[in-house]
Structure 1
Amino acid sequence: MLFLTLLVLSIAPGISILWYVYNKDKYEKEPKKLVVKTFILGACFTIPAGLLEVAIQSITGIRMEGSLVQGFIGAFFFVAPIEEYAKYLAIRIKAFRSSEMNEVMDGIVYGVAAAMGFATLENIAYVFQHGIGTGVMRAFLSVPGHGIEGAIIGYYLGLGKFNPKSLRRNTLTGLTIAIFFHGTFDFFAFSGSALAIFIIPLIFFMYLSFRKRVRLALKNSRFRDGRDTEEFPTKVIKMTTKGVVKIIFGIFFISFSALILIGSIAAASEGDWDAAEYGFSIFFTVIPTVVGTLLIFSSRKDRVEA
């Protein structure tokens, strides 16, 4: 009975989320066979991604739960990039090349399918290892997080497919946003501190981001109002290369300041600091944060119609 309970708790969240997003595609449903194949591909990439993470941890000695600094490095530079790129490959290998992916909303559906395949197999491992409590928590936090990240990658792949000149830029944008969300989530989750409480507002913000992209994709659907046109909607807003660069550097500066802050907190907890050391810490925390925030907000001016 316990085995069956754990199995259902492992699988149900991913299937439910995929079914929810699948039915969001209200103008032209995707073939279930291709959705299932993408789901399976996502699951298949879970194992090599996990092995690569273990190998990197063994080589570098970095542990997600070792310290705040190690957790930050592991989350943003190892785990998140590996897992989000795995989801990207699961979409790109089959669904992206199919003629069935003929609008941006389709990219969201296949992105979630790949992510839910990945998350479901990962969930089975976690739930059977840690029990029902972990399964319940992951059903409302980790699994939806994976789904939103996959949706974002799929959304930008969809934009890129119908605007080939911007495919590379859109791919980079989608991966960057997904990695940022994933890295932030994992850093909070493995911090072993009160920072974990920030996962809840983070998931809410991620959901708003997901909902916005679904709304845009449906608004610009080629099948909306019964029409079926080969023309891609002209009022799709995309980010220029300059804007993407601003966002990347903005995230870098904010991440740098967060790393300085984490290191400062860890160092201060081990001994007394003088005024100069506190001043140094504050300066290199505040300035990069301000610069990064300004860069990200200024990137809003670098949006153009596709």
Structure 2
Amino acid sequence: MSVLSVLMAAIAPGVALLSYFYLKDRYDPEPISQVLKLFLFGVLLVFPIMVLQRALVQGLGEHPFVFAFVTSAATEEFFKWFLVYFVIYKHTSFDEPYDGIVYSVAASLGFATLENVFYAFFNASGFSALMMRAFLPVSGHAMFGVIMGYHLGKAKFNPDASRKHLSYALLLPIFWHGVFDYTMLVTKTYWIWFMVPLMTFLWIRSLWKVSHANARSPLRVIQREEQVKI
């Protein structure tokens, strides 16, 4: 494969998934500039996270459970949560629950896309390996972003339970990311028997969260009132 072909194959899954979740916004699609900003910030997160993870490996070792839940899941999801919360959570463009999903998925897929590019160029892998990564790590990051964004949306538009959902927005992605990584680490030869049910569950649950977040949009009521007036 040529360099351009490898690069396109590595980038395409993240862009396709981001487009999919962006187009799922039924009532008020987010400014493309804001979505791209979160995506690019997600790309930049790769570098500080790589440095921190290297330090954690040296300090904590590479025990599968510790690596999966602390070195990998906790560091990556915390930085993504921190990014979305401090960059966009209080922004005026975050005006309905589904927006949390769009922005969290953008940050997650920015991170996953550069990670995928590094994998493509620094590991001996062919097109089939890149497609497998599209269905697993890249797709997994999108699912973790949906979980994070769903609870950020609930936190912003349900002030009475904001602390609870802000915690869920961080802890639940860490948990599922850890489960994902731990499964891949300990089931090297028969991983497919565990990953297919896990990914199926995460996709079904994520699509439910997408539908539920859209259904709770305040813009839905406004749109209906306008249609009645017409």
Q: What is the CA-CA distance between 1:112 and the residue it aligns to?
A: 0.6
Q: What's the CA shift string for 1:30-80, capped at 9, x where partnerless?
A: 0000000011111111111121111110122x22xxxxxx11121012210
Cα distance in 1 for residues equivalent to 2:116 and 2:20: 19
Structure 1 runs (4+) deviating above 3 angstroms are 192-195
Q: What is the CA-CA distance between 1:195 and the residue it aligns to?
A: 5.0
Cα distance in 1 for residues equivalent to 2:147 and 2:161: 16
The equivalent of 1:254 in structure 2 is none
Cα distance in 2 for residues equivalent to 1:153 and 1:29: 19
Contact kept, 8 Å, 2:108 with 2:145, in 1: the verdict is yes
| 1:57-206 alignment, distance < 5 Å | 57-60=57-60, 62-63=61-62, 70-130=63-123, 131-132=125-126, 133-197=128-192, 198-206=194-202
Q: 207, 211, 214: which is aligned to 1:218? A: 214
Letter in 2 for 1:20: Y
Cα distance in 2 for residues equivalent to 1:54 and 1:227: 52
Letter in 1 for 2:166: T
Letter in 1 for 2:15: I
Q: What is the CA-CA distance between 1:178 and the residue it aligns to?
A: 0.8
Paired residue secondary structure (1:157)? helix
Contact kept, 8 Å, 1:103 with 1:222, in 2: the verdict is yes
With normalisation by structure 2, the TM-score equals 0.91
Q: What is the CA-CA distance between 1:192 and the residue it aligns to?
A: 5.0
Q: What's the CA shift string for 1:231-270, capped at 9, x where partnerless?
A: xxxxxxxxxxxxxxxxxxxxxxxxxxxxxxxxxxxxxxxx
Cα distance in 2 for residues equivalent to 1:203 and 1:218: 22
The equivalent of 2:54 in structure 1 is 54
Question: Where in structure 1 are there 5+ consecutive unaligned residues?
Answer: 64-69, 230-306
| Structure number with higher relative contact order (C-alpha < 8 Å, ≥ 6 residues apart) | 2
Cα distance in 2 for residues equivalent to 1:196 and 1:39: 30
Letter in 2 for 1:146: H
Contact kept, 8 Å, 1:112 with 1:154, in 2: the verdict is yes
Paired residue secondary structure (1:140)? helix
Q: What's the CA shift string for 1:144-168, capped at 9, x where partnerless?
A: 1101101111111111112234222
Cα distance in 1 for residues equivalent to 2:167 and 2:129: 33
The equivalent of 2:4 in structure 1 is 4
State, as a whole percentage, how many aligned pairs show the same letter. 37
Cα distance in 2 for residues equivalent to 1:25 and 1:79: 30
The equivalent of 1:43 in structure 2 is 43
With normalisation by structure 1, the TM-score equals 0.69
| 1:270-281 alignment, distance < 5 Å | none
Of 215-224 and 15-24, deviating more is 215-224
Paired residue secondary structure (1:141)? helix
Contact kept, 8 Å, 1:222 with 1:228, in 2: the verdict is no
Contact kept, 8 Å, 2:81 with 2:169, in 1: the verdict is no
Query: How big is the alpha-carbon RMSD for the aligned residues of Structure 1 and Structure 2?
Result: 1.7
Cα distance in 2 for residues equivalent to 1:195 and 1:47: 32
Q: Larger radius of gyration, structure 1 or 2?
A: 1
Cα distance in 2 for residues equivalent to 1:213 and 1:228: 25
